[in-house]
Amino acid sequence: MAYATYITEAMVCGTRHRNSADSSFLLFTREAGMLFADAKSVREERSRQRYALQDFSLVRVTLIRGKSGWRVGSIEALDNYYNSASDKASRGSVVKIMRLLRRFVHGEEPHRQLFDYIKDALNVLRNDISERSFMETVIQLELMRLLGYVDGKELPLDIIDTAPSKLDLYGVIPVKNLDALLDKAVNASHL
């Protein structure tokens, strides 16, 4: 019986090691949402997949849907946001966004717009930027808005649907106001 295969971009959000050489990876994919995919013998020294499947990596992956879940087929490493971050604050921003993804994105439901937004956001946050806390807060709010936890009417119109690379063109909105909106969204989610 032939299984269906899917080729998509994915972000590696987490890893669970099983047995001596197997692992399960939490992947946020563009086409299928958040899912766990198993990889056999990926921790062995001879494995070609072990370097591509590191946490915080952007990969192009072939996923195979089997009887017991998803399996990783071939994989191509595209980028690693954590390793290419410019400094400690940039790495912290990358980790913060990935944790937020793991916390609030659930299920195998495609979030193409969210995937593209987070990909752009991580490209911006891994660089040295002057208004880091403002940018992080706005990106987190946009993530929550795209998932439906924040009403777009509550956000300043300047930041809705703005690409992360263009956020520095807008004036800095007081972070306290944005933090209050973010706290409200987190409390409303019950996650």
The pLDDT tens digits for 68-125 are 889 998 899 999 999 999 899 999 999 999 999 999 998 889 999 999 999 999 999 9
96 and 164 co-located in one domain: yes
Is the domain of 97 the same as that of 184?
Answer: yes
Share of the chain above pLDDT 70, in %: 87
**Quick one: pLDDT at residue 93?**
93
Q: In which domain, by residue range, is 24 found?
A: 5-80
Residue 117 sits in the same domain as residue 159: yes
Q: Are residues 174 and 118 in the same domain?
A: yes
Are residues 69 and 129 located together in one domain of the fold?
Answer: no
Bridging pattern class, strands 33-39 and 69-80: parallel
Return the CATH number at 73: 2.40.50.140
Please check the confidence at residue 28 and state whether its pLDDT lies above 80: yes
Question: Comparing 54 with 115, which gets the higher pLDDT?
Answer: 115
CB-based burial label for 93 (10 Å; 0-12, 13-18, 19+)? buried
Please state the domain count of the chain: 2
Q: Determine contact, residues 175/139, Cβ cutoff 8 Å.
A: no
How many helices and strands (H and E) does the chain possess? Answer: 4, 5
Same structural domain for residues 166 and 144? yes
Q: Are residues 100 and 175 in the same domain?
A: yes
110 plus 92 within the same structural domain: yes
Contacts of 112 (CB under 8 A, 6+ apart): 30, 31
Q: How many CA atoms lie within 13 A of 182 on its CB side?
A: 19
**pLDDT given for residue 60 in this prediction:** 96
Rounded distance, CA 134 to CA 130, Å? Answer: 9
Q: What is the pTM of this model?
A: 0.86
